Structure 1
Amino acid sequence: MKVLTVCGMGFGTSLMLLMDIQEIGKRHGYDIQGEAVDLGSAKGKVCDFMVASSEIVSELSDESVEIVSINNILDKEEIESKVMPVVERLAKGAR
């Protein structure tokens, strides 16, 4: 499964989110591929879902995949509690 992590510049926040999501997925037995991108590059990219900070998530509202909004990107518990239900649902084939 592929996730796009999105931030304003495409490094820093999005890269941190991607690494956290991949580590959380691995702990739960999932191989999560991903890409950390800036807001402009996220448009039209093919992925299973996107994760972005709550500050920019509204700018992704036109995307056709589920978008997970993270309030505190340093809170790994929040990331896990919001991302894992999406990963598990996608792994079961439900969209």
Structure 2
Amino acid sequence: MKILVVCGSGLGSSFMMEMSIKEIIKDLGVNAQVDHTDLGSAKGEGADIYIGTKDITSQLEGIDGEVISLKSMIDKADMKKQLEETFKKLGAL
């Protein structure tokens, strides 16, 4: 399973979210590859799950994969809840 964390420039905020997501998936026992990228590149990369803040994910309409839209990039509880729901939907949990 591949998870792609998306932000406007593909640097700071997506990398910060990537680190949090790696901790969460480790705690959940899910085997997934997690990478980060910018919005423009995300549309050309394939992933099972795309994660970003609402302002970014609203621009990912029509992309093939699940999209997780976060209210806050630092709210780990919301991030974990949405990841759990998505993993269950995809049969990974």
After TM superposition, the structure 1 = structure 2 runs for residues 80-91 of structure 1, keeping only pairs within 5 Å, are 80-90=80-90
Counterpart amino acid of 1:73? M
Listed as ranges, the gaps of 5+ residues in structure 1 are none
Listed as ranges, the gaps of 5+ residues in structure 2 are none
Look up the match of 1:30.
Answer: 30
What CA deviation, in whole Å up to 9, does each residue of 1:2-21 have, x standing for no partner?
Answer: 10000000011111111111
Structure 2 distance, partners of 1:64, 1:31, is: 20
After TM superposition, the structure 1 = structure 2 runs for residues 14-93 of structure 1, keeping only pairs within 5 Å, are 14-90=14-90, 92=91
Aligned CA RMSD, in angstroms, stands at 1.3
Q: Which runs of 4+ in 1 moved over 6 A?
A: none
Q: TM-score, normalising length from structure 1? A: 0.89
Q: TM-score, normalising length from structure 2? A: 0.91
Number of residues of Structure 1 aligned to a counterpart in Structure 2: 92
Structure 2 distance, partners of 1:73, 1:89, is: 22
SS in structure 2 of the partner of residue 56 of structure 1: helix
Look up the match of 1:11.
Answer: 11
